[in-house]
């Protein structure tokens, strides 16, 4: 029986030679992740299990990113609960304000995930690390608690959808447009319970950061994970950040897939997801005059340095439109520092943007950019559900950093190509 990339990683971590779709297995995990929202529930459950300590104090990882720096007293209590727990359990990978970043940008950056790993995280966007050839998936707090106690998690082995990428992206088109395009094609439950496996000639045309964005949003198609084939770029990225040995898994030639899609990257245009589902995608030929009140550039999806650089290229020397609040959120401290050293922050501030410390903040309607009734935002985040960024009548339009930047300048949803033409 042949296996997909995902199935091979799961088999190896279950101590089995073979697994097949539908099989229930118990898997050893290489990392267990939680944040300041999900960890408190996990800690409460963990205490009930009554083990002497966590299974591995280096592998348990907590990042204070959702409501941190503490947004209110209750958030402060939750962060303190995590901090005290990590102190007591001597957790080495505890990331607090000043050292933290948005978890799914931080873990790859710190070299905490390598190809072939199995990572569970009590955050749905844990699927991000598929970009570097790991099996990683979002779970709940109870799974996190049990993972911390035993180092194991139960899974139903997923079947897979294969995406064969070819061609090369056009100017101002990035990983975000690719994944929005795919979700528009297959729907928000198009990959429900399944793996999305990305392969083909086109993979090498995507930077590791484009891939991180694509894998990050696999969950928005309902997928269990979204994994890329490992190539030279992945290995260079990982070796720069980690000394750990890793294993590269390739799907068998005759692996079976539920569906196969060919995606020509050169045909993908700038894509925007309209409210209130990521599958409601449109390209600029179908987008009219839509005025906006806010732009958010950041999040675990698009808060990388590359994303900020793409936005800065468009914003440089221009001004944010009157009546638009443009909020830039570098995803990690390192990204913040690099953006500062390379003059990106100056470009943003001079244009009338505000630059925030790393936080998930507005993406989930936490703080740092909540929308009032009827307001509209273009955001590089990952969800545009009802009330996601504030009032239930507010609207979120999901887009790439380039589209978000162009929209900030235009005061309406705008094509970066047009803005750059006008600028000359």
Partner 1 sequence: MVFNGKAIKYGDNVDTDVIIPARYLNTIDKKELASHCMEDIDKDFVKKVNAGDIMIAGNNFGCGSSREHAPIAIKESGISLVIAKSFARIFYRNSINIGLAIVECPEAAEGISEGDTVEADLDNGVIYNRTTGKSFETKPFPEFIQKIIANGGLVESIRRGDIK
Compare residues 72 and 259 and give the one whose CB is closer to partner 1: 72
Least CB distance to partner 1 at residue 141 (A): 4
Least CB distance to partner 1 at residue 159 (A): 13
Q: Quick check: 305 and 329 in contact, CB under 8 A?
A: no
Least CB distance to partner 1 at residue 320 (A): 26
225: closest CA among 158, 179, 178? 158
Compare residues 128 and 333 and give the one whose CB is closer to partner 1: 128
Least CB distance to partner 1 at residue 109 (A): 22
What Å distances lie between residue 14 and 7, 17, 197, 235, CA to CA? 10, 9, 20, 25
Residues that bind partner 1 (CB under 8 A): 24, 26, 37-38, 40-41, 44-45, 48-50, 66-67, 71-72, 74-75, 77-78, 121-124, 126, 138-143, 145-146, 149-150, 152, 154, 188-189, 192-193, 219, 222, 224, 277, 364-366, 383, 385-388, 392
Q: Quick check: 205 and 167 in contact, CB under 8 A?
A: yes
The helix-helix angle for 305-315 and 208-216 (nearest 10°) equals 100
What Å distances lie between residue 123 and 35, 100, 131, 172, 300, CA to CA? 7, 16, 16, 30, 11
Least CB distance to partner 1 at residue 239 (A): 31
What Å distances lie between residue 177 and 222, 229, 278, 281, 421, CA to CA? 18, 20, 12, 10, 20
Least CB distance to partner 1 at residue 40 (A): 5
Least CB distance to partner 1 at residue 322 (A): 29
Compare residues 193 and 258 and give the one whose CB is closer to partner 1: 193
Q: Kindly provide the residue ranges of all beta strands, DSSP E only, lying in 169-212, ordered along the sequence.
A: 195-199
Query: What span, in angstroms and rounded, lies between the C-alpha atoms of 397 and 271?
Result: 10
Compare residues 300 and 419 and give the one whose CB is closer to partner 1: 300
Q: Kindly provide the residue ranges of all beta strands, DSSP E only, lying in 217-324, ordered along the sequence.
A: 225-228, 259-264, 271-273, 281-283, 294-297
């Amino acid at each position: 029986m042949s296996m997909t990339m995902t199935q091979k990683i799961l088999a190896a971590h279950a101590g089995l030679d073979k697994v097949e779709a539908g099989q229930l297995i118990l898997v050893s995990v290489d990392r267990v992740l939680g944040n300041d929202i999900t960890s408190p529930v996990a800690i409460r459950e963990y205490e009930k299990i009554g083990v002497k300590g966590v299974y591995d104090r280096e592998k348990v990882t907590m990042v204070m990113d959702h409501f941190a720096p503490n947004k209110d007293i209750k958030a402060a209590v939750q962060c303190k609960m995590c901090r005290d727990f990590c102190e007591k359990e001597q957790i080495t990978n505890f990331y607090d304000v000043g050292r933290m970043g948005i978890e799914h940008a931080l873990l790859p950056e710190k070299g905490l995930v390598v190809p072939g790993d199995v990572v569970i995280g009590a955050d749905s966007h844990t699927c991000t690390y598929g970009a570097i050839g790991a099996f990683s998936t979002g779970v709940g707090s109870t799974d996190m608690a049990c993972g911390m106690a035993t180092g194991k998690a139960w899974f139903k082995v997923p079947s897979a959808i294969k995406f064969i990428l070819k061609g090369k992206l056009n100017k101002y088109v990035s990983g975000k447009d690719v994944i929005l395009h795919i979700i528009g094609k297959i729907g928000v439950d198009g990959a429900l319970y399944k793996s999305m496996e990305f392969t083909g000639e086109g993979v090498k045309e995507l930077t590791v950061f484009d891939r991180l964005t694509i894998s990050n949003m696999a969950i928005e198609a309902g997928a269990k994970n979204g994994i890329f084939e490992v190539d030279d770029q992945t290995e260079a990225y990982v070796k720069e950040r980690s000394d750990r040995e890793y294993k590269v898994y390739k799907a068998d030639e005759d692996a079976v897939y539920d569906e196969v899609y060919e995606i020509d990257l050169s045909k993908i245009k700038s894509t925007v997801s309209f409210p209130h589902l990521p599958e409601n995608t449109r390209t600029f030929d179908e987008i009219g005059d839509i005025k906006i009140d806010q732009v958010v550039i950041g999040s675990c999806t698009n808060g990388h340095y590359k994303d900020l650089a793409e936005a800065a290229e468009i914003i440089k020397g221009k001004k944010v439109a009157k009546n638009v609040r443009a909020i830039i959120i570098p995803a990690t401290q390192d990204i913040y520092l690099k953006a500062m050293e390379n003059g990106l922050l100056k470009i943003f501030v001079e244009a009338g943007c505000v630059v925030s410390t790393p936080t998930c903040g507005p993406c989930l309607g936490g703080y740092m950019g909540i929308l009032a009734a009827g307001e509209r935002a273009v955001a590089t985040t990952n969800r545009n559900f009802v009330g996601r960024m504030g009032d239930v009548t507010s609207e979120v339009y999901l887009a790439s950093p380039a589209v978000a930047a162009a929209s900030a300048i235009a005061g309406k949803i705008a094509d970066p190509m047009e803005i750059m033409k006008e600028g000359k």
